[in-house]
Structure 1
């Protein structure tokens, strides 16, 4: 496992990391989380991604309980969360509790996450989406204050536009506040526009780092959806029904089939090839992977061995197959 700086920040994160979306508290309980996080850590993973909204806060609780059982030195790992969507309704007026990045919500959200994790601070905190109803200045001040107060070490954004990221950075620069240092965008062989074009100037201009998610396009790039949606797959989960059309896209599944011989020549699976392709991008600080079992996790992490095998010729062959279908 190799380690990369988080953009221009001094923090170093493993090139492959482990996330908890969909799995924790749904498919993975505390004992399973302990087993998988231990396996990831043994393989060199030092970054574990989460979010307040995952499983309505229960994902943070599961990861926090697992971290307590594992007992790792706090300097040996980094953990994140994200704010915007809020938690499930608990009655009363929810206008300042959901779909917002206002100061009132953010300053209470960080305290709630710390309590669920059982940690004194979080390493990375993200604004999970942009909020058109809150001035960016207000959000920047609140996120910077989290860092000043020692509740978080670095802050960034997820699925923001390049224009809003630049605006947030400029506000922080102007007012001598803690700047956003990372963005968490979706990035895979069929979804490239934001990372490769929209953000292009931000890498050099402000030193933006990327902690990308969905390297397998929710499983499409594993090849298991070529004949429909298997009963035991993520796509079969009721709360993942919005993925059905994308997972069964005939043209993309045909492209995945064409990737198989390329992967085989490299001694890899198509999933490992797809993860390695994301990590090959020098602007990616870490690729967040997901898994519901130790076997799946270990298979995914073997992608680290494939990154160096992606020569210009191999990348060209991959692009000829997938780039025409990418958005």
Structure 2
């Protein structure tokens, strides 16, 4: 499989980033191990998690990192993988926090749960909008120099604070973010394309969109309110049951039929056709869902397909 290099790093990743929010939530430990074995068995090597997944289960989090850590230790595959996790999430125990104190504490806890001596990509998950940018970057500088983290990235950081981070890093010789994790898919385009794509280009960032399948809506299994009860995440797609959503599903149906594939595969291939996108983040909880992911990098959409999807999702 052709791997893509995360810009400004020596990390090479397959073009699908597995979202570990399902570990310890909709997948138990054994099921998680099976999915990870199958995912990596196909040559994929990029796994995304966070220190607080899945806090919505027990109000605390850490289950996802613990499962990944146990799996890596049992399989002896750590050096073959690119592991990303995050700091600064909101839980029942604390609000957003990217202070030096919280980062230094959280990175050690994540390393312990992951049973590893380093994290390849460490994200600012959410910006607390209070901690000075310089304090956050100095904390990252400390943990990079200590060998605990290789590179840093940003997720839910405003365009203004993101730009400030680069200015402060340049001025003070501090680490710079190498990647951005934006909310971006066929149903959610404006925020990334208007506010973040220019920054991705300007600062040479790799982009790993989350909610790549719009919480499962782009799989096509939610087409009416009656379908919302099909899964624990169903209620999250209610907002897409509108004329635009139906038009996007119609376009996905047409193109997936043309290529003899699944709507979700087409939706991911649309993301991968964008030169700014390195590897979409997507989860799977079954063999059939995994096959959908595996097919996406192989699907080459033509200009007619992309135009059809762009118009349907405008």
Length-normalised TM-score, structure 1? 0.88
User: Following the alignment from structure 1 to structure 2, what is the Cα–Cα distance between the partners of residues 286 and 5?
Assistant: 10
CA contact 1:39–1:298 (8 Å) conserved in 2: no
What is the rounded CA distance, in whole Å, between the counterparts of 2:76 and 2:153 in structure 1? 27
Deviations 1:159-202 (A, max 9, x none): 22222112111211111122111111111011122332322332
1:131 to partner: Cα distance: 1.5
Tell me if 1:175 matches 2:172. Answer: yes
SS of the residue 2:253 aligns to: helix
Within a 5 Å distance, the mapping from 1:83-102 to structure 2 comes to: 83-85=87-89, 88-89=92-93, 97-102=94-99
Are 1:57 and 2:55 an aligned pair?
no
Map Cα deviations across residues 4-48 of structure 1 (whole Å, 9 max, x no partner): 121232321111121111x11012122212211111112121110
Q: Tell me if 1:17 matches 2:8.
A: no
Alignment of 1:270 onto 2:263: yes
- CA pair 86-161 structure 1, distance change in 2 beyond 3 A: closer
Indicate the structure whose relative CO is greater, using CA pairs within 8 Å and at least 6 residues apart.
1
Structure 1 window deviating more from structure 2 (60-69 vs 224-233): it is 224-233
What is aligned with 1:71?
76
Partner secondary structure for residue 197 of structure 1 = helix
Q: In the alignment, is the contact (CA less than 8 A) between 1:47 and 1:79 conserved in 2?
A: yes
2:219 pairs with one of 212, 219, 222: 222
Q: 2:229 aligns with which of 231, 239, 262?
A: 231
Aligned residues: 307
- Which region of structure 1 is more displaced relative to structure 2, 2-11 or 12-21? 2-11
Assess if the C-alpha contact under 8 Å between 1:225 and 1:253 holds in 2. no
Rounded Cα–Cα distance in structure 2 between residues aligned with 1:110 and 1:88: 19
Contact 2:248/2:309, CA 8 A, preserved across alignment = no
Matched, 1:31 2:24: no
Give yes or no for contact 2:26–2:285 (8 Å, CA) kept in 1: yes
Q: Does 1:3 align with 2:8?
A: no
Cα deviation, 1:195-231, whole Å, max 9, x if unaligned, reads: 3232233234321111111111001111111033353
Separation in 2 of the partners of 1:192 and 1:230?
A: 23
Match of 1:81 in 2: 85
* Cα distance in 2, alignment partners of residues 192 and 231 from structure 1: 26
Distance 1:9 1:197, change over 3 A: farther
| Equivalent-residue separation in structure 1 for 2:193 and 2:48 (angstroms) | 23
Q: Match for residue 58 of structure 2?
A: none
Over aligned residues, Cα RMSD in angstroms? 1.7
- Deviations along 1:38-70, one digit per CA (max 9) or x if unpaired, are 111121211100001111111111111111122
Q: How far did 1:2 drift?
A: 2.5
Find the residue that maps to 1:52 and give its secondary structure.
coil
Look up the match of 2:291. Answer: 298
- Name the CA distance, whole Å, in 1 between partners of 2:17 and 2:207: 12
Q: Identify unmatched segments of 5+ residues in structure 2.
A: 55-60
SS in 2 for 1:82: strand
How many angstroms apart in 1 are the aligned matches of 2:277 and 2:49? 18
The 2-side partners of 1:147 and 1:54 are apart by 23
For structure 1, the 5+ residue unaligned runs are 90-96
Query: Deviating runs (4+, > 6 A) in structure 1?
Result: none
SS at the partner of 1:231?
helix
